[in-house]
Amino acid sequence: MVIDVKNVTVQYTISNFREIGLKEYLIKKVKRDIKTEQFTAVDNVSFSLDEGDFLGIIGTNGAGKSTLLKVISGIMKPAKGSVTVNGKIAALLELGSGFDPDLTIKENIFLRGAMLGYTKEFVTEKYKDILEYAELTEFENRAFKQLSSGMKSRLAFSISCLMEPEILILDEVLSVGDAAFRAKSEATMVNIIKSGCCTLFVSHSLPQVRRLCNKVLWLDKGKQIAFGDVNTVCDKYDRYIRTVTNMQNIKM
Amino acid sequence: MSDKFSIDDILAEIGSDNDVSKKTAKSSGVADKKAPSQSTPGATMILNSIDEKKKTQGKENTIEISTENLQHLKGVVGEGQRRPKESAQQTQKTAEPQKAKPSADENRYKKLSEFDDDEKPIKRRLNMAQDNTMSAKSSKIAKPSKEKPAVEASGKQENKSQTIFGSDDEKHKKKAEKISVSINTSANMTFKEKVKQYRFLFEELTKRDFKKKYKRTLLGVLWSVIAPFLTFLVRYFVFGYIFHRHDSGFVIYLLTGTLMFTFFTNATTNGMFSMYSNGGILSKVKVPKSLFVLSSNSAATFNFFLTLIVYFIFMIICNVSFGPHLLLMIYPILCLIIFNIGMSYILSALFVFFRDMQYLYQIFTMLLMYMSAIFYEVKHFPEELRFVFNINPVYHYISYMRQLVMQSSVPGFAEHIICLSFALGMLGIGYFVHSKTEQKFVYYY
């Protein structure tokens, strides 16, 4: 088992002390006026994945998909439950995240490689491939912030995929880039699955999920609605989305 | 909320599709006004109703009841959140959707404070109540729609009950819960490989910090030499020629103090921002957070060594006698580096939570500067006030340096111990504070 998620619950404290400063915090602490409220972003989610599994995570906005990925990649700690991960994670959470806008592409690739836990030799070895795959060779010395958003996502995707991760986490990043790159990236994804890498993938594109994934997890407001075979869950989700859309049409 | 339409609307629409009387829809509207803050059950409910629709095509009667049942359940949940006892009792009596109680909202806060005391019995009762109503209807209702709403209802009950106004209870709860995260990223990695990997990241981060500092400057790194040189030069002239204190060695006294104290403020101020300004990275990639504190400190330390070159130039100008004893300079510098790292750990953690820290810290460093006797000598102070200097670690490092440079003598053994224990103490406290709080950073970026 590569990833084992058991009864994971994530709670934030949404309270009035998050936005205030030190002075008000102290005053309110003295007055005992601090209102804390627990917001449950992920509620009792359990699933497990094996080598070569490709999990699609679907659900409406704010369903807790990204939060769940953050827990799996170890950035957040769950309030309850346990996460067991065996393997090296290459997480790509959101477009252009974890890059430094002021550094050049070259520097960013090395920095990113270092952050993903690779050695200098390995990154140097892979560097050329990454640039070529992302089709950014001529922009090598441009600052990251000067890239177009499509280029940024291409770079991010290339780094994460070409570093031979054992676990790959992609959060809504396959839907950007031009059509040609998208086709290329999907082909790469298929290769990655074949290599036995376990992938977690958030998408709002149901056809894409059906094409790539073999398991699907459906979250809604943090709750696990369904987990299982791709077609069963997707059909269910499709029906749900259609119902909601119909409702909206009627309303209008 | 993800859907624009609340579950009530959707349910009502499904209901009207299946000839449910308008009454249900109306009462759902009432329920909506009753509980604006309450979260909707979401996809499960809709799904169940869809399942219902499929399973019992043509049997409108069943659908009506199931919809009504969901509606009713919702009523229970909504009421239960506010007035758990009464609603639970009412549920046992009646299966009809309940009407709004206008006073409910006003009593809400009071009731909530009573809430945690008898939370458990209420929950049990509520569940029992639901089971009762469910079993009464179960003959007509398919299984999934019976199970899931009940689970959800009780789940919601729990959620709400955690909304407590004091945080003590929460702490107890959290302790009791089992928390475990095990990520064996480096399970099959030797210690050597780990060091190698982190060294690479550390190098890259330090490089980045340094590059960013001199981005878009013509002279680049040279500024690290020029800036202190000019500062020292100004002080040299102002104090040496305008105030005529050139003879007494006051200039080198002043420059030594400035050198050490500037290093302290630069390193700790950089360190303070290190967690927050890297929030974008830290909230997206799993990296050891303390590396960022260390890298910002090492960039500042590198700067300091460049300044040290300038300092040596001024030592020559001021006719300081050079000798092997100056090699001992490394001791107070090392202590100060450790001390800075400890201080940065604390400040960076505090700064994530309170942005006020940057202003407070400015004031604090100013106060500390006067406590470090940079512009004046301690002997001008009355005996009973001198403890102020002795409890200031930075003053110890400065005076160690001064004694080495100006008197060409090595401070006593006790002084060494004091310097080191301040440094290690600060590092210990800093690391403790940082590791205690770092899990929460991600919520504050």
Tell me the per-residue pLDDT of B106-118, one tens digit each, with 9 for 90 and over: 443 333 334 334 4
Q: Kindly list the strands in the beta sheet with A89-93, ordered across the sheet, starting from the edge strand earlier in the chain.
A: A89-93, A167-171, A198-202, A54-58, A215-220, A223-229, A36-49, A3-15, A80-85, B179-183
pLDDT number for residue B14: 43
Q: Would you place residue B195 in the very low, low, confident or very high pLDDT band (cuts 50, 70, 90)?
A: confident
| C-alpha–C-alpha distance, residues B171 and B176, integer Å | 9
Q: Which residues of chain A have a CB within 8 Å of the CB of B285? A: 73, 75, 91, 93, 97-98, 112, 115-116
DSSP annotation of B162 reads T
Q: A30-44, B38-52, B425-439: lowest mean pLDDT where?
A: B38-52
With contact defined as beta carbons under 8 Å apart, do A223 and B42 qualify?
Answer: yes
Long-range contacts: A23-31, Cβ < 8 Å, 24+? A23/B356, A25/B354
Q: Would you place residue B247 in the very low, low, confident or very high pLDDT band (cuts 50, 70, 90)?
A: low
Q: Kindly report the nearest CA distance between residue A114 and chain B, in angstroms.
A: 5
pLDDT number for residue A12: 78
Q: Would you place residue B51 in the very low, low, confident or very high pLDDT band (cuts 50, 70, 90)?
A: low
Q: Kindly report the nearest CA distance between residue A170 and chain B, in angstroms.
A: 12
pLDDT number for residue B165: 38
Q: A203-217, B189-203, B365-379: lowest mean pLDDT where?
A: B189-203
Beta bridge partners of A91: A169
Q: Does B42 touch chain A (CB under 8 A)?
A: yes
Q: Would you place residue B435 in the very low, low, confident or very high pLDDT band (cuts 50, 70, 90)?
A: very high
pLDDT number for residue B146: 37
Q: Does A40 touch chain B (CB under 8 A)?
A: yes
Q: Which residues of chain A have a CB within 8 Å of the CB of B196? A: 119
With contact defined as beta carbons under 8 Å apart, do A153 and A177 qualify?
Answer: yes
pLDDT number for residue A217: 92
Q: Which tokens sit at B216?
A: 């878009």
Q: Would you place residue B80 in the very low, low, confident or very high pLDDT band (cuts 50, 70, 90)?
A: very low
The Cα-based distances of A232 to A56, A199, A218, A235, B334 in angstroms read: 13, 20, 11, 5, 63
Q: Which tokens sit at A223?
A: 């709750």
Residue carrying structure tokens 């945690």: B116
Residue with the larger pLDDT of the pair B61 and A164: A164
With contact defined as beta carbons under 8 Å apart, do B126 and B157 qualify?
Answer: yes
Beta bridge partners of A82: A6, B180
Answer yes or no: do A82 and B178 touch at CB < 8 A: yes
Q: B240-254, B323-337, B352-366: lowest mean pLDDT where?
A: B240-254
- Cα angle A239, A240, A245 (rounded to 5 degrees) comes to 100
Please report, for chain B, the start and end positions of each structural domain, with discontinuous segments joined by +: 7-176, 191-443
| pLDDT at A73 > cutoff 90 | no
Query: For residue B169, how many C-alpha atoms fall within 13 Å in the half-sphere facing its CB?
Result: 15
Answer yes or no: do B286 and A35 touch at CB < 8 A: no
- Cα angle B438, A217, B131 (rounded to 5 degrees) comes to 95
The Cα-based distances of A248 to A39, A76, B7, B45 in angstroms read: 27, 35, 12, 17
| pLDDT at B234 > cutoff 60 | yes
| pLDDT at B71 > cutoff 80 | no
Residues 6 or more apart whose Cβ sits within 8 Å of residue A4:
A48, A49, A82, A83, A84, A85
Average pLDDT over residues B37-63: 53
| pLDDT at B11 > cutoff 60 | no
Q: Does A195 touch chain B (CB under 8 A)?
A: no
Residue with the larger pLDDT of the pair B170 and A122: A122
3-state secondary structure chain A: CCEEEEEEEEEEEEECCCCCCHHHHHHHHHHCCCCEEEEEEEEEEEEEECCCCEEEEECCCCCCHHHHHHHHCCCCCCCEEEEEECCCEEEEECCCCCCCCCCEHHHHHHHHHHHCCCCHHHHHHHHHHHHHHCCCHHHCCCEHHHCCHHHHHHHHHHHHHHCCCCEEEEECCCCCCCHHHHHHHHHHHHHHHHCCCEEEEECCCHHHHHHHCCEEEEEECCEEEEEEEHHHHHHHHHHHHHHHHHHHHHHC
Answer yes or no: do B357 and A38 touch at CB < 8 A: no
Answer yes or no: do A248 and B5 touch at CB < 8 A: yes
Nearest CB among B2, B212, B443 relative to A12 is that of B443
Average pLDDT over residues A183-208: 83
- For chain B, percent of residues with pLDDT exceeding 70: 56
| pLDDT at B237 > cutoff 80 | yes
| Among A98, A97, A80, A52, residue whose Cα is nearest residue A222 | A80
Q: A124-133, A148-157, B398-407: lowest mean pLDDT where?
A: A148-157
Q: Which residues of chain B have a CB within 8 Å of the CB of A19? A: none
| pLDDT at B176 > cutoff 50 | no
- Cα angle B234, B240, B245 (rounded to 5 degrees) comes to 145
- Chain pair A-B, CB pairs under 8 angstroms: 190
Q: Would you place residue A53 in the very low, low, confident or very high pLDDT band (cuts 50, 70, 90)?
A: confident
Q: Would you place residue A31 in the very low, low, confident or very high pLDDT band (cuts 50, 70, 90)?
A: confident
Amino acid at B303: N
Q: Is the ipTM of this complex over 0.85?
A: no
Residue with the larger pLDDT of the pair B215 and B148: B215
Residues 6 or more apart whose Cβ sits within 8 Å of residue B88:
B80, B122, B125, B126, B129
H or E stretch at B180: strand B179-183
pLDDT number for residue B347: 95
Residue with the larger pLDDT of the pair B9 and B65: B9
| pLDDT at B86 > cutoff 50 | no
Average pLDDT, rounded, for chain B: 70
pLDDT number for residue B311: 94
| Among A57, A39, A37, residue whose Cα is nearest residue A47 | A57
Q: Which of B181, B211, B215 to mutate to test the interface with A (most CBs of A within 10 A)?
A: B181
| C-alpha–C-alpha distance, residues A200 and B99, integer Å | 46
pLDDT number for residue A96: 63
Q: Which residue segments constitute the domains of chain A, with CATH numbers given?
A: 3-251 (3.40.50.300)
Q: Which tokens sit at B272?
A: 């303070």
| C-alpha–C-alpha distance, residues B316 and B324, integer Å | 15
How far apart, in Å, do the first and last CA atoms of chain A sit? 48
Average pLDDT, rounded, for chain A: 83
pLDDT number for residue A18: 55
Q: How many CB atoms lie within 10 A of CB A211?
A: 13
Q: Kindly report the nearest CA distance between residue A190 and chain B, in angstroms.
A: 24
Average pLDDT over residues B14-20: 42
The top-scoring range by mean pLDDT among A28-42, B121-135, B158-172, B358-372 is: B358-372
Q: Would you place residue B92 in the very low, low, confident or very high pLDDT band (cuts 50, 70, 90)?
A: very low
Q: Kindly report the nearest CA distance between residue A55 and chain B, in angstroms.
A: 19
| pLDDT at A1 > cutoff 50 | yes
Nearest CB among B44, B186, B355 relative to A21 is that of B355
pLDDT number for residue B48: 65
With contact defined as beta carbons under 8 Å apart, do A201 and A42 qualify?
Answer: no
Residue with the larger pLDDT of the pair A120 and B171: A120
Residue with the larger pLDDT of the pair B130 and B269: B269
| C-alpha–C-alpha distance, residues B366 and A133, integer Å | 53
